[in-house]
Amino acid sequence: MESTDRMSERSVTWLSASQLSSLYRRRELSPVEAVDAMLARASALQPHLNALVLIDAAVARKAAKESEARWLKGTPLSPLDGVPTSIKDTTQVKGWPTRIGSHATDEMPATESAPAVERLQAAGMVLLGKTTTPEFGWKALTDSPLQGTTRSPWNLKHSPGGSSGGAAALTAAGVNPFNHGNDGGGSIRIPAAHTGLVGLKPTFGRIAQYPADAPFADVVSQGVLSRTVRDTALALNAMAGPDPRDWRSLPAEPRDYTIGLEEGVRGLKLGLSLDLGHVKADAEIRALVVAAAKRFAELGALVEEVGPLIEPLQNSFEPLWLGSFAVRLRQIPSQLHGKLDPGFRAAAEKGLAITLADYAKAYEARSKLARDMALGHRKYDLLLAPVTPTSAPLVETLYNSDAFPRWTKGAPYTLPFNLTGQPAASMPAGLTRAGLPVGLQIVGPPRADPLVLKAMRAYESASGWTWPQAKVLEALAGF
C-alpha cells in the first residue's frame, strides 16, 4: 500500500474507523502506516495525559503487518481489520498483566483474554496497549496509587472522568478512533460526557465478559468510547455475542448494528428528566441538556418533561457498592492495605459491616427499580437526562468526599441504568462557559440497543459536533 501524500501523520490519527477502513480498501493507506502514526502520537502525549499503562509497539506492528497482507489480498477479517484500539486495564489480555491500578496486583501476564478482547482481535483490530483506570475501577475519576493521574485533553487541570478515563483521553486527544472501556456505574458514559465523546453502555450481557464472578460483574457492560456513532455500531458488531465463560451473556443475535442508523426519530415519544426526581445538576448542565433535547423535537420526536422517576439511590444501593468493595478488600493481604487508594480503602472497610440482610434488601430494591423503568418505557420510547451533575472535576478532587459525594456528584444519573441493565449512552451536549464538555444521556428499554443507536445517530447528525475540537487542539498544542 502507498501512503497518500495529502495526509499528514496527525490527520491520520483523527480519522474514524470507518474512514480508515475505506482508505485501506482503496489502498490509499496501510494499517502499518496508521499504527505507526498512532503509536507516535500516543508516545508523544503520554507524558502529558498519562492515559496508557503500557504500549506494546512490537505486538501492534506485527498485527498491522498481518492486517496489511489481508487487505492486499482482499480478505480482511472485518471492516475493522487493521484499526488500532486499546484495552482498559481492568480487562485481561493474554500476554499482558492486569494491574487495575493497584499495588495489590502483580505483573504476571494473563493466560487468556477476555471475550471482548478476543472478539476485537478476531475482527483484525490492532491492540496498541492498555489504558489507565482508578484502582479496581472504583470511582468516576482516573487516578491510582500504581499509575498516577490521568488528565483530560480538553484541559490538563481536569480529569477525563472514570473509570474508563485513559480510554477517553486517548480517543478525545486524537490518538486512535475508539478505545475499549467498561461501565459498572457510569464508567463509559461519564468519561464520554467529560471529554465530548460518544459512549454507549450496551444492554447488560450483550457483550460477554470474563471473569464473570468478579465484584460488580452483574452490573458491568463492556463497550467503547468513540468519536462517532457509526464507529460505536461497528465496535458493537465486533464485540457482541455470548461466551461459555459468562453464563449471563445474551444469546447470539445476528445483527448489523449499522443498519437502520439513519432512520431518524420522527414519531418517537421521548421523556426528559433533568433530575430523575432527586439529583441537583448545575444550572449550566441543565440548560445545555434542555437545548440538546430540543434537537430531538426539531427532528420530529415528541419530547416532554416527566415527573420524578427514581428515589435517591444511596439508602437502597449503598450496601451493593460497599459490600462489593469489601469482597475485594478481603482478597488483599493486610500488609498491602496501606498501599491502597485511601478512598477505596475507606469505602471497603465500611463495607465490612454490610449484612446479608442489607444486601438482600438492596437486591429487592434493584428488582423494583428495573420493573418501574421497564413499565415507564410503555409510555416513552426513550428517556433523556444529563450524564453528570457537573462538568469534569479538577484532577485533585477527592472522590466520595464531602465535596464530591458519589451519590450526588459522582454517578447519580448513570448508576440506575447499570442496576436495571438497560442500554444507555452519552452524546456531546455542548460546552460550558469554561470550555468543558457536557453529556446528554439517552436511555432505552431493555435490549433496545438498535433504538438507542438510531437516536444517537439522529442527534449526532443535527448537533454539528465534529472532531478534532478546537479547544483540544489548543490544549495539546506543541505536544
Q: What's the distance, Cα to Cα, between the start and end of the chain in Å?
A: 29
- Count of Cβ atoms closer than 10 Å to residue 112 Cβ: 13
Of these residues, 30, 113, 163, 324, which one is catalytic?
163
* 348, containing H or E segment: helix 342-351
Tell me the residue type at 286: R
Q: Closest by alpha carbon to 280, among 415, 389, 186?
A: 389
Ramachandran angles phi, psi of 158, nearest 5°: -115, 155
Is 462 exposed, middle or buried (CB count within 10 Å of its CB: 0-12, 13-18, 19+)?
Answer: middle
**Which H/E stretch holds residue 233?**
helix 229-239
Catalytic residue among 159, 187, 249, 391, which? Answer: 187
Of the candidates 118, 149, 117, the residue with the CA atom closest to the CA atom of residue 133 = 149
Cell 444501593 -> residue = 317
Question: Among this protein's residues, is 163 annotated catalytic?
Answer: yes
Q: Which candidate in 88, 130, 139, 201 is catalytic? A: 88
Catalytic-residue membership of 43: no
| Whether the Cβ atoms of residue 386 and residue 157 lie closer than 8 Å to each other | no
Residues 6 or more apart whose CB falls under 8 angstroms from that of 369 comprise 310, 316, 416, 419, 420
Query: 353 exposed, middle or buried (CB, 10 Å; 0-12, 13-18, 19+)?
Result: exposed
Check: CB of residue 90 under 8 Å from CB of residue 214. no
How far does Cα 385 stand from its chain's mean position?
17
Q: Is 164 a catalytic residue?
A: no
Closest CA to 296 of 321, 249, 320, 264: 264
Q: What amino acid positions are annotated as catalytic residues?
A: 88, 163, 187
